[in-house]
């Protein structure tokens, strides 16, 4: 049975947004490096605490406890983390029943998003040990801000990324991730006319440093392939052939630098993403929305300028959590939340990979010599 979709006085439908709390920093990426600890840079995670290096389905996330305000969203949102020398905020833990239909009252949204951690060096030192995560003031996941209404719900088990972790310049970002719409700016402040929208601000923010990131809005519900709408496809819905429009996800993240950089900055700020420059900004998303709520969300995409709540089996948007404790790392004995340690582990992984490649090349060369001698 589908629950009430909207709670608006007018019949118009609209976008929705979900505020999600951060619960851990960790050097894992189950989408890009599944099953591996030492190859990923540090990420900041929001949503379902069931996320691990092996997470592959929506059902896995729905068995966890989340930090979102909507009880029907068990998605995981992930970003590269920023850092500051004052240390990360405390992590938390909570656990929910595996069968979400048996819950007696709603739990908070459980989505597991991730982004590369934003880091700051208050002293200006460039050694990795000088950096630590920048405090996050607010993470919001917006849905339905696309140009046209969605045709299908976000599919179960969908995993997708936005942006480019390897881009270090504006041109590389434009080539690798032209549709991600990456922006960095000071909330409420004017920016110089010649500022690259994806570059860090060059002067102190009066309030929050904010970033935006747009995810694909087209999907093949059978293969789970995704894409961005573009008129050049020549299709009625502007999606690649065989794909349908789904609600578009946008990350909006506000960072508070006022305590870690009380004197502000002028010029290049002492900030890095765990993946590099501001142009490497990217995000990961693993869908954890309950199917009924995901279907209800489709109706909210017909008009994008008014908020509409998305309700579902676990209750109404904003009902709160059944968790008696707080969300935390489901695999605390592996990986790291420390930026400098993550750099060392990635370096060691690269060296091991290089040794394996060299060994393979040498073995191939010896085999070629033997084959030539036998001939």
**Residue 83 pLDDT exceeds 80:** no
CB-based contacts of 236, cutoff 8 Å, min separation 6: none
pLDDT band at 113 (very low <50, low <70, confident <90, very high): low
Torsion of CA 128, 137, 334, 122, to 10 degrees: 20
**Residue 119 pLDDT exceeds 50:** yes
Looking from the CA of 45 toward its CB, the CA atoms found within 13 Å total: 36
pLDDT band at 262 (very low <50, low <70, confident <90, very high): very high
Q: What is the pTM of this model?
A: 0.79
Which of 20, 147, 145, 6 has the alpha carbon at shortest distance from 78? 20
Tell me if residue 290 falls in helix, strand or coil: coil
Residue 366 to residue 66: CA distance in whole angstroms = 54
* Percentage of residues of the chain with pLDDT beyond 70: 77
**Residue 321 pLDDT exceeds 70:** no
Which of 219, 239, 222, 223 has the alpha carbon at shortest distance from 147? 239
Angle at 19 between CA 94 and CA 115, to 5 degrees: 80
CB-based contacts of 105, cutoff 8 Å, min separation 6: 315, 319, 322
Residue 326: what pLDDT? 85
Q: Write the pLDDT tens digit of every residue in 197-220.
A: 999 999 999 999 999 999 999 999
**Residue 87 pLDDT exceeds 90:** no
Phi-psi map region of 124: left, alpha, beta (phi>0 left; psi -120 to 50 alpha): left
Residue 80: what pLDDT? 61
Higher pLDDT: 101 or 30? It is 30
Residue 186: what pLDDT? 97
Average pLDDT over residues 226-230: 96
Higher pLDDT: 284 or 107? It is 284
Residue 8: what pLDDT? 29
Q: Write the pLDDT tens digit of every residue in 241-250.
A: 999 999 999 9
Residue 86 to residue 52: CA distance in whole angstroms = 26
Residue 85: what pLDDT? 34
pLDDT band at 161 (very low <50, low <70, confident <90, very high): very high
* Percentage of residues of the chain with pLDDT beyond 90: 60
**Residue 264 pLDDT exceeds 70:** yes
Q: Which of 57-66, 98-107, 318-327 shows the lowest per-residue confidence on average (mean pLDDT)?
A: 98-107
Residue 370: what pLDDT? 52
Residue 186 to residue 189: CA distance in whole angstroms = 5
Average pLDDT over residues 138-147: 84
* Long-range pairs, 97-104, Cβ under 8 A, ≥24: 98/63, 100/62, 100/74, 100/290, 100/313, 100/314, 101/313, 103/314, 103/322, 104/322
Average confidence score pLDDT of the chain: 81
Residue 102: what pLDDT? 29
**Residue 5 pLDDT exceeds 90:** no
pLDDT band at 154 (very low <50, low <70, confident <90, very high): very high
Average pLDDT over residues 137-154: 88
Average pLDDT over residues 208-236: 96
pLDDT band at 192 (very low <50, low <70, confident <90, very high): very high
**Residue 187 pLDDT exceeds 90:** yes
């Amino acid at each position: 049975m589908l629950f009430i979709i909207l709670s608006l006085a007018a019949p118009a439908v609209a976008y929705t947004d979900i505020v999600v709390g951060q619960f851990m920093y960790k050097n894992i990426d189950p989408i890009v490096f599944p099953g591996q600890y030492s190859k990923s840079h540090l990420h900041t995670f929001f949503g379902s605490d069931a996320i691990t290096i092996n997470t592959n389905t929506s059902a896995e996330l729905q068995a966890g406890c989340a930090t979102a305000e909507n009880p029907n969203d068990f998605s995981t949102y992930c970003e590269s983390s920023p850092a500051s020398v004052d240390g990360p905020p405390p992590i938390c833990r909570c656990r929910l029943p595996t069968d979400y239909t048996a819950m007696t009252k709603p739990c908070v949204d459980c989505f597991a998003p991730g982004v590369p951690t934003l880091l700051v060096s208050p002293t200006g030192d460039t050694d990795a040990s000088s950096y630590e995560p920048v405090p996050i003031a607010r993470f919001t996941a917006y849905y339905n801000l696309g140009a046209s209404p969605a045709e299908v719900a976000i599919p179960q088990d969908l995993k997708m990324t936005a942006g480019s972790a390897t881009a270090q310049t504006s041109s590389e970002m434009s080539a690798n991730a032209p549709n991600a719409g990456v922006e960095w700016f000071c909330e409420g402040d004017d920016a110089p006319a010649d500022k690259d929208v994806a570059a860090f601000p060059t002067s102190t923010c009066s309030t929050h440093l904010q970033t935006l990131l747009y995810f694909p809005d087209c999907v093949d519900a059978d293969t789970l392939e995704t894409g961005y709408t573009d008129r050049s496809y020549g299709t009625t819905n502007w999606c690649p052939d065989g794909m349908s429009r789904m609600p578009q996800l946008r990350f909006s993240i506000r960072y508070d630098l006022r305590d870690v950089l009380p004197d502000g900055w002028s010029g290049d700020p002492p900030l890095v993403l765990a993946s590099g420059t501001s142009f490497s900004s990217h995000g990961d998303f693993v869908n954890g929305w309950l199917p009924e709520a995901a279907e209800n969300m489709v109706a909210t995409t017909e008009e994008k300028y008014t908020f509409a709540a998305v309700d579902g089996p676990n209750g109404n948007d904003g009902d709160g959590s059944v968790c008696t404790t707080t969300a935390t790392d489901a695999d605390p004995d592996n990986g790291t939340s420390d930026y400098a340690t993550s750099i060392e582990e990635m370096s060691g992984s690269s060296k091991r990979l290089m040794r394996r490649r060299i060994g393979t090349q040498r073995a191939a060369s010896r085999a070629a010599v033997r084959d030539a001698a036998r001939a």
